[in-house]
Structure 1
Amino acid sequence: MSWPEDVRESDWGKTGNKKLHSWAFDRIYQYLEYKGEIRGVEVLKENEWDTSKTCSHCGDDTKSNRVERGLYVCSSCELVANADCNGAENMRQKITPSPHGEDRSNGCVVVRET
């Protein structure tokens, strides 16, 4: 599970703090942890910082690859992906690496043809 570290310590101004600091992310984690225990599944917290800036396909971490808010285009392997899907795949790879040589693509990312 994505875990926003230090979210309570951040300062986003009066209005931003009211919205962000009232976010019930811990309640969501507790719910998922409870459901996971029932089904024998461990729920892990993973910091999402910078996960969408690295290519989930080749590992390139060029900052300019994050083209727009939701678009990721790798300058090395030409992967085109939704930036959040790319970040989620990077988080998945940290926790459950793919067996050597096996493709575990979820269909959210595609390689752009030239």
Structure 2
Amino acid sequence: MENIILFVRDFQKGAELSESLSSINLNVSFGESIYDLPDKCCLAIMDLDDKKFNNLDFILELKTKAKIKLICYKRLIKKESHDAIKNAGCDIIVTNASIVMNIQKLVKNLLK
């Protein structure tokens, strides 16, 4: 079973994501810093609408130190912020509206 961490403080969104990911046999945990990563974590999902996680340094630190895949989501994605987030290390950037609906497909494709 793969370990995934959610950097999501929105309770409803976190519950929806956790339920969807658990249904495809993924072990889900929640975190607020790089020190919360479970052993052998392969993927992080991050809410960029949360000021705590909308930080390019945090994205870069996760990508370089933990060497994991990153899926980031945001309510509104502008070209310049998309490019900066991508350059910091986010593998997939999607809108807030599509994250729950497409999470299983995104994760399966990213973890192939």
Please say whether Structure 1 and Structure 2 have the same fold, judged by a TM-score greater than 0.5.
no
Q: Decide which structure has greater helix share.
A: 2
Which of the two has greater strand per residue?
A: 2
Higher relative contact order (CA 8 A, sep 6+): 2
* Bigger radius of gyration: 1
